[in-house]
Structure 1
Amino acid sequence: MFSLFKSNSQDFFFGEYEKPDLLQKLEEYQNIRGQTWEWLGFYIEYDHHHSMTPLDVIPFAGTGGDGIHFGFLTDFGTVKDLSNAPIVCVSPSNDPPIRLVAQNLTDFLGLVLTIGEAEFLDDDYTSDEQIKAQLQEWDEVSEVDWKGNPLPKTEIEEMKQRRAERRQGRVLLAKVLSEQFEIYPITKVSQYINDLRVVRKKEITIETLDGIGIKYRTEKLIIEGFDYSVEDNLVQSYLDKASEAERLKFYRDATYNYILSDDFDKVIKELLIKSLQKHGYRREGQILKKKY
């Protein structure tokens, strides 16, 4: 938990956390004219906040499709260095909308190199062959439209050219990541992610509705879920009397229940902002106030 809060726009998103060196290098590469990470299906951008984005997640990249974004899971300050923070995929239109996908940023990039498209991390796989098949399908060019009507040859040729450029772009970025960033593909993706989630389940001490849980500073706790349909004054009473662990579960489950959407319950949202700021979670409180 952090009690101080810096003022510039950079620290609005990161609070007291330092931006990892690797992330800075990714951003610097992207900011050079003509260079991009889009051939691997992502771009570095910090302003990704959906009502489903957990408050203790610091987004760092998006895919440009369906609001899907990736972020550092901080466990409300338990993680001290974002270089070691787990990476989650937030996919607002999918079920489940939150997935644990990598142990850290380095592994995230290694997985993206293997699967070819960052957006594929929004799915679960049973084998690496399934991933290869999906990438092959992604690169295929259909010669008919969605109604089954033949497309003009010029349009088909243009699409084939774009697909070829994307494949070449992946090869280029793989070389950049290996030579300039010392990032290499991670094989056995499905096993890697499954093992990661098994370990996570053993390490969490607070279970949450999103299935990700929270690593807290105590032994495993049994905390009953809160009924968010109650009157606002009962929410205030609960937050006033709750332990820190109970509040953390409340904050995380609130996002999963869509409570923080602008069109849902602004009173509860304001109560959460006050509670976060009162108990030292100023970054999370500011983000909730300005971006949800």
Structure 2
Amino acid sequence: MGENNLNCEVSVMIIEYRIPTLLQQIMRWEREFSREVEYLETPTGLFLGIDFNEKEGYFCTPVDSFPFARTGGDGIHYALLTDFGLVKDLDEAPVIRVSPMDSDRVRLVARNLHDFFSLHLFDELALLNEYPSEEAYLESVRKEEARDLNSEWFDHDRWKREKQKVLNEVQERFNLTPIPNPVQYLQEIRFERSLQITTLTEDSLGILAPLLGAQGKETFLASIRNLQHTSSSNRVIIERHANELLKMGMTHEAESLLARLLR
């Protein structure tokens, strides 16, 4: 897609992002608290960290996002979405789940980091899977607990004690508390986002209305989301899109696109 196809003056947009304050605080706390809950792989159950210089990742990890948490299984990770620069402060960025092995590869899971950690720590399964109702989610939680109780190698009682220590700590230190009706919460935030979308994309995220004031950009950025969703390997098209992103001042996005689709 050439510059003329955008039907606009391409504006240069360079934003310097910083590590969110809450993420920094939780990472610092984890290092101190991990010795208190040695049966847990990590206190939060995640592998946390942001590397702003890291451009590689899974093909479907949106180029306008920064991964910050890995689950350690099936490539599933969580990322902060910037919506191609619409979000200026990562403390307020929406959180997405990226599941490279699933057909629903990218899904919105939280309004911001505070909500994300509240959901993950108290209702982890609600973030990892899709449920049609609160009842279906609670049934899944019951089945998971039953499997753990019947496992010969898993010390469920110790895990539960140490998990409770973590929950007590995060409530006191970070004011993280359970979000009532997590499935309903997910449905609500996805509906709210759908009202802001001007251009649909195959990855469910879409392109948001406030982002752009120039005709043609919506379609261009939507095509980037679709290239990633389909794991395109068309070098000519990918490099053309990367060049357009560079002209727009989106260096991180351009380099990420090349690294994730042409490695």
* TM-score, length-scaled by structure 2: 0.80
Kept in 2: contact 1:75–1:216 (CA 8 A): no
Residue of structure 1 aligned with 2:105, choices 97, 100, 112: 97
CA-CA distance at 1:243 after TM superposition: 2.9
CA-CA distance at 1:126 after TM superposition: 3.5
Give the AA of the match of 2:49.
E
Output one character per residue of 1:154-191: Cα deviation in whole Å (capped at 9) or x when no partner.
x82xx242x33322232111112111111111010111
Output one character per residue of 1:191-210: Cα deviation in whole Å (capped at 9) or x when no partner.
11111111111112222121
Q: Which has the larger radius of gyration?
A: 1
Residue of structure 1 aligned with 2:127, choices 105, 118, 121: 121
Task: State the SS of the aligned residue for 1:59.
Answer: strand
* Percent of aligned pairs sharing the same letter: 30
* 1:107 to 2:112 alignment: no
Alpha-carbon distance between aligned partners in 2 of 1:102 and 1:265, rounded to the nearest angstrom = 33
Alpha-carbon distance between aligned partners in 1 of 2:227 and 2:259, rounded to the nearest angstrom = 17
Note the residue ranges of structure 2 that are not aligned, 5 or more in a row.
Answer: 1-10
Residue of structure 1 aligned with 2:79, choices 71, 90, 103: 71
Higher relative contact order (CA 8 A, sep 6+): 2
Alpha-carbon distance between aligned partners in 2 of 1:42 and 1:2, rounded to the nearest angstrom = 36
Aligned Cα RMSD in Å?
Answer: 2.8
CA-CA distance at 1:2 after TM superposition: 6.6
Q: Which residue of 2 aligns with 1:61?
A: 69
> 1:111 and 1:18, CA in 2 relative to 1: closer, same or farther beyond 3 A?
same
CA-CA distance at 1:135 after TM superposition: 3.0
Output one character per residue of 1:77-131: Cα deviation in whole Å (capped at 9) or x when no partner.
011211221111110111211111111111111112331x3x5413222444433
Task: State the SS of the aligned residue for 2:78.
Answer: strand
Task: State the SS of the aligned residue for 2:237.
Answer: helix
Note the residue ranges of structure 1 that are not aligned, 5 or more in a row.
Answer: 5-14, 144-154, 222-241
Alpha-carbon distance between aligned partners in 2 of 1:41 and 1:63, rounded to the nearest angstrom = 7
Task: State the SS of the aligned residue for 1:71.
Answer: strand
Q: Which residue of 2 aligns with 1:212?
A: 205
Kept in 1: contact 2:78–2:95 (CA 8 A): yes
- Alignment: residue pair count: 242
Q: Which residue of 2 aligns with 1:49?
A: 57
* TM-score, length-scaled by structure 1: 0.73
* 1:31 to 2:28 alignment: no
